[in-house]
């Protein structure tokens, strides 16, 4: 079995990020869009932690903590918006809310 | 111990692919949890046990529970009873269950032989992370707490009961 190199981990993070990006672009359900954003944030966190471990510093893990805090804040606001969307239009289709007032 | 890394990475890719392609949000959520757990195992092998624990506690547990709460709130009424019945069919939970079982076996294996950190990567202990976080990154920590407060206020504002003056079809 090949030893794990930095390239392998970064390729894994890139693939995960690409899948999340495809999810955001392809799916129209708001909950799936939020989940895909979570996938992308998690993939970037993986890249941060791998880089930190590669250079034997704690900075990568600190950045992951910030990504984690950001993801929590983003999910709380995003899901509140989902509830609001469902309340107003009784649907979770993102295209319904494509026009803004004003 | 590269084999455990490759298995966990493969599970992460498969589970993430299934998240993006599922039709039902709850099925996708189950696979998303498996994907996050496999990334936690990868963190452990890269010499980041603290972050691996946080990934399980915060990402795979807390944030996913919020998702589940919202889905429960959106599925009120008699329609949801029928939905619950279909969700409990084996075909739904066998896929995530098998993937999670492989991850669990990997975890037991890693604990049994005290799997070392992958060659080329160094172990970073929680103590080092804490010293860095409360030292050089102290401003960032304060800003993160401010961001969480802003998220709390924003969620409260958006999810407040609707006023009678709001017109249907506007936000």
Is A16 in contact with B16 (Cβ distance < 8 A)?
yes
Minimal Cα–Cα distance from A62 to chain B, Å? 6
Q: What is the pLDDT, as a whole number, of residue B145? A: 94
Average pLDDT over residues B83-91: 68
- B59's CB contacts (< 8 A; 6+ apart) are A38, A42, A68, A71, B36, B40
Q: How far is CA A80 from CA A20, A39, A89, B73, in A?
A: 21, 19, 14, 11
Q: Is A73 on the interface with B (CB under 8 A)?
A: yes
Q: Is the dihedral of CA A12, B21, B65, A36 positive or negative?
A: positive
Cβ separation of A80 and B154 shorter than 8 Å? Answer: yes
Q: Which residues of A touch B121 (CB under 8 A)?
A: 4, 50, 53-54
**Grouped pLDDT means (10 residues each) for chain A, 102 residues:** 82 95 90 93 94 90 94 92 84 77 60
* Domains of chain A from N-terminus onward: 29-92 (1.10.287.3510)
Q: Which two tokens stand for residue B115?
A: 């799997």
DSSP letter at B120 equals T
* Residue B42 contacts residue B110 (beta carbons within 8 Å): no
Q: Does A88 touch chain B (CB under 8 A)?
A: yes
CA distance B41 to B8: 7
Residue A53 near residue B121 (C-beta atoms within 8 A): yes
Q: Is the CB of A80 inside 8 Å of chain B's CB atoms?
A: yes
Name the residue among A66, A85, A71, A79 with its Cα closest to residue A37.
A71
Average per-residue pLDDT in chain B?
A: 84
Contacts A–B by Cβ distance under 8 A:
195
- State the pTM of this model: 0.86
Residue B22: its pLDDT value, please? 84
Place of tokens 């026009």: A99
Give the model's pLDDT for residue B33. 93
pLDDT over 70 for what percent of chain B?
84
Nearest to B5 among A4, A35, A83 (CB): A4
Q: What is the Cα–Cα distance from A64 to A70, expressed in whole angstroms? A: 10
More confident residue, B77 or A44: A44
Distance between CA atoms of residues B123 and B67, nearest Å: 33
pLDDT at B164: 56
3-state secondary structure of A83: helix
Q: Does B117 touch chain A (CB under 8 A)?
A: yes
pLDDT tens for B114-146 read 766 777 788 888 999 999 999 999 999 999 999
Judge: B42–A38 Cβ closer than 8 Å, yes or no.
Answer: no
Tell me which residue in B128, B156, B170 faces A58 most closely, judged by beta carbons: B128
């Amino acid at each position: 079995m090949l030893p794990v190199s930095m390239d392998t981990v970064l390729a894994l993070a890139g693939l995960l990020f690409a899948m999340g990006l495809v999810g955001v672009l392809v799916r129209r359900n708001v909950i799936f869009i939020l989940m895909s954003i979570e996938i992308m944030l998690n993939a970037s966190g993986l890249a941060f932690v791998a880089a930190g471990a590669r250079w034997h510093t704690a900075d990568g893990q600190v950045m992951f903590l910030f990504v984690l805090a950001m993801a929590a804040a983003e999910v709380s606001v995003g899901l509140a918006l989902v509830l609001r969307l469902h309340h107003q239009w009784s649907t979770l289709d993102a295209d319904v809310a494509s026009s803004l007032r004003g | 111990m590269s084999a455990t890394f490759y298995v966990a990475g493969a599970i992460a890719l498969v589970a993430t692919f299934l998240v993006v392609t599922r039709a039902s949000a709850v099925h996708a959520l189950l696979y998303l949890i498996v994907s996050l757990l496999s990334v936690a195992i990868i963190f452990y092998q890269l010499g980041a046990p603290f972050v691996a624990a946080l990934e399980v506690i915060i990402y795979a547990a807390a944030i996913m529970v919020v998702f589940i709460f919202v889905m429960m709130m959106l599925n009120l009424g008699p329609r949801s009873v029928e939905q619950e019945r279909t969700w409990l069919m084996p075909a739904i939970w066998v896929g995530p269950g098998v993937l999670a079982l492989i991850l669990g076996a990997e975890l037991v294996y890693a604990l049994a032989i005290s799997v070392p950190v992958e060659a080329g990567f160094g172990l970073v202990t929680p103590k080092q992370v804490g010293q860095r976080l409360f030292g050089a990154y102290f401003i960032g920590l304060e800003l993160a707490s401010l961001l969480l407060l802003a998220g709390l206020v924003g969620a409260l504002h958006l999810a407040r009961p609707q006023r009678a003056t709001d017109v249907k079809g506007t936000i």
